[in-house]
Amino acid sequence: MTMLGAARDYWFRVLGRAGAYRNVWRLSPPAVVVLAYHEKQMRKEVYHLYDLARKLRNQVNKTDSTEVLSLDMLHTTEEIEKLAKHIRDLARG
């Protein structure tokens, strides 16, 4: 199956309604493929964001941030910010 056929089948499963399905295909075929790729990428990065947030929560619970500021916590928060901005950009298209 071609990439375009896989993207078409994917969008049909996601949308499920024939009317919405037709509206998606008003876009050019490469745009639909790009949208499908962005959604896959976004899902993967959301799971990574969840892992980073869990890591940050554990770091915060382990340290007393009123007395010590952990550089590892700062690096984790910066990585979370970058990833959140990238996810936002993917969602915007």
Report whether pLDDT(79) > 70: yes
Give the structural domain span for 82. Answer: 29-92
pLDDT of residue 30: 73
**Spatial CB neighbours of 15, under 8 Å, sequence gap ≥ 6:** 21, 24
In a domain, 22, yes or no: no
In a domain, 83, yes or no: yes
In a domain, 64, yes or no: yes
In a domain, 7, yes or no: no
In a domain, 21, yes or no: no
From 39, 40, 12, select the one nearest 24 (Cα to Cα). 12
pLDDT band at 66 (very low <50, low <70, confident <90, very high): confident
Report whether pLDDT(12) > 70: no
Average pLDDT, the chain: 77
Q: DSSP per residue over 27-92, as a string?
A: S-HHHHHHHHHHHHHHHHHHHHHHHHHHHHHHHHHHS-TTT---HHHHHHHHHHHHHHHHHHHHHH
Q: What total number of domains does the chain contain? A: 1
In a domain, 33, yes or no: yes
In a domain, 20, yes or no: no
Q: Which residue has the higher pLDDT, 1 or 77?
A: 77
> CB–CB of 28/7 below 8 Å?
no
Instruction: Note the pLDDT tens digit of each residue in 24-52.
Output: 555 566 777 777 888 888 899 999 999 99
